[in-house]
Amino acid sequence: MEALRTVMKPLLSPMEGTASSNLDDRLEIARHLLTQYSTGNLTFVGFGLEMVRKKVITVEPEMLRVVAWATLRWWLIKPSADSDCDYSNSAYYVEAGGLQSALRAMEGFAAREGFGDLSKSLTNETAFKWTYPAFAIQYAVEHPEVLDEKTSDGLTMMMEASKSRSCNRNDLAFKGLLEAHEMLDMPINTMTEWGKDAAMLAEEAGYANRSAILEEKVLEKDLEDTPFVYHFPYMALLILGSHIVLFLVSMIFIFGHGSGSVTRATLATHGQDFVAKIVVFMACNALIMSSTAPALLLRPGSLLKVSCNLHVPSSWPIFFLLGVAFLVFVILDFRKANDLAQGQGPVAKTVTAENIYQDPKVPILTCLHTFVLSCVFVCVYWSALVQPIEMNLFSKFLWSCSLFVQYYISSKFKEESRFLSFASLSRWAVRLDDQENNELWAVLLRQSKMADGAVNGQIPRLSRVEVLLRFAMCYVSNGLFRILIVYSLPVYLAASGSASDFALNAFAVTFISELDDLPDSVDYELGEYEPLHGEQCEMKPLA
């Protein structure tokens, strides 16, 4: 016993002369030990609480909370990691009915003895102390947040009970914890660091009944706290339906007036462009949402039963694939531009600059400054997406409405882009549909053989290094950054605290996406048209 006391004291109490400097380390050690069910660890808990009660050691509130949590967890959750349903160490749990029964027993005893404070009843009933872990129950009553304490695996007791096999036909562990959370007014939808809550874990483990119960309880609470306008649970379908209605109305106008066949075909193509973008966005948004629980992708019916929280880092495979596709198109575009620069193919007489990186009249300093500013904005934007986001009724509404903002950002329509091939649709998906300007880059690359400076009002001739730098900044800013912003936009907007924050955040994102755009595109005419011949190639701005 003295040896155990020697081990316990430095772990549970502060080291002399160090105050609480080692508290975090001791908490982590204790949490890891107490997460593992074993007789030795249970002795650790019991003896530790006894030492605290006798004031042999002084324990910080944080450590006391961990020890009380471990006692409750051992008592409420099956004390075996191999699911053999051996309740020999906690048979009283099956008979008593868990924490909920214990709390009611405390209430009943307090009423009989005339105590108004539940904690007082704990010190006046020997039988209660033998039947229930009195200290842990008292601590839970005074500090309900202990129910949200997590194991070293990041799971609360509610999460463990929802995903673990029950050895009792009445599912006492799960139901007892659920009622205890209600009695102590504690939330049951606490999330892991990956965005999973008890309902999602239950659905993943195949316990649909538990998941349905948890979803119903969360929805009841959400309906009480959320304004009526957000109470429609299928907001995503409503927003999708509104886009379908917009498309149908536009088709009525297109085929209802007497415009020429060419104009009608152009408008119809615009409608096809609209539908294609909406379908792609809805599919990607759904995949990013369900990436929090990838196991449910094989069971689509389960995805309709449980609300998946949002966690962008979990969707890294989607962004990785988009990034690879982006890199492929960048390499292809550069090779085409370089081939044209070497005279392997005709170049149009007029080229157009769409953003500051493509316009040689814009100083390189302005380009660099704008690019750095874009990097800062994107980093700040992305930092808001690291933490998981709970999907309640309000956040579902904002997530659904973000489809309007996504389409607005990507609504640049080009008549020649008809999505007639997989390549053209893929180029749009990686946000490069308006960045394919190979002829302009070819002209700028050929100018590397010319002297610097402007002559007779002509544009400055750029060195090859500067052209390559502009090319890289152009594609990163208008391709890679757009991928990160457009596809994560629903998650970002769903985190808005209010409707006004949603509007401000949406406006800020559109500003970032258009930061390097020119007020108007600039057309340049080549001094020598076809073919390109070294120093005879000159670019002149059109009047």
pLDDT digits (tens, 9 = 90+) for 255-293: 766 555 556 666 667 777 788 889 889 999 999 999 998
* pTM of the predicted model as reported, rounded to 2 decimal places: 0.80
- Judged by average pLDDT, the poorest of 23-37, 42-56, 87-101 is 87-101
Place of tokens 């882009």: 417
* Alpha carbon of residue 502 to chain centroid: 16
Q: How many CA atoms lie within 13 A of 324 on its CB side?
A: 5
Whether residue 529 is predicted with pLDDT greater than 60 in this model: the reply is no
pLDDT digits (tens, 9 = 90+) for 103-146: 666 555 455 544 445 445 444 554 444 456 677 777 888 888 99
Alpha-carbon distance 379 to 381, whole Å? 5
What is the DSSP secondary-structure string of 44-92? HHHHHHHHHHTTSS---HHHHHHHHHHHHHHHHS-S-TT-----GGGHH
Cα dihedral 69, 74, 78, 84 sign:
positive
- What per-residue string of b and e applies to 302-327 under the rule 16 or more CB within 10 Å gives b? bbeebbbbbbbebbeebbeebbebbe
Predicted local distance difference test score (pLDDT) of residue 10: 53
Which amino acid, 503? A
Alpha-carbon distance 249 to 423, whole Å? 30
Predicted local distance difference test score (pLDDT) of residue 400: 92
Predicted local distance difference test score (pLDDT) of residue 107: 57
Predicted local distance difference test score (pLDDT) of residue 258: 53
pLDDT digits (tens, 9 = 90+) for 367-400: 999 999 999 999 999 998 989 999 999 999 999 9
Predicted local distance difference test score (pLDDT) of residue 448: 41
Backbone angles phi, psi at 492, to 5 degrees: -60, -45
Q: Do the beta carbons of residue 531 and residue 343 sit within 8 Å?
A: yes
Per-chain mean pLDDT for the chain: 77
pLDDT digits (tens, 9 = 90+) for 430-482: 877 777 888 889 988 886 433 333 444 556 778 889 999 999 999 999 999 99
First and final C-alpha spacing in the chain: 95
Alpha-carbon distance 29 to 34, whole Å? 9
Predicted local distance difference test score (pLDDT) of residue 152: 83
Alpha-carbon distance 350 to 523, whole Å? 7
> Can you give the residue ranges of every domain in the chain?
2-225, 238-541
Q: How many CA atoms lie within 13 A of 136 on its CB side?
A: 24
pLDDT band for position 520 (50/70/90)?
Answer: confident
pLDDT digits (tens, 9 = 90+) for 326-341: 999 999 999 999 988 8
Q: Do the beta carbons of residue 434 and residue 333 sit within 8 Å?
A: no
Alpha-carbon distance 256 to 258, whole Å? 7
Q: What is the DSSP letter of 315?
A: G
Tell me the mean pLDDT in the region 20-37: 68
* CA proximity to 146, closest of 158, 162, 129, 134: 158
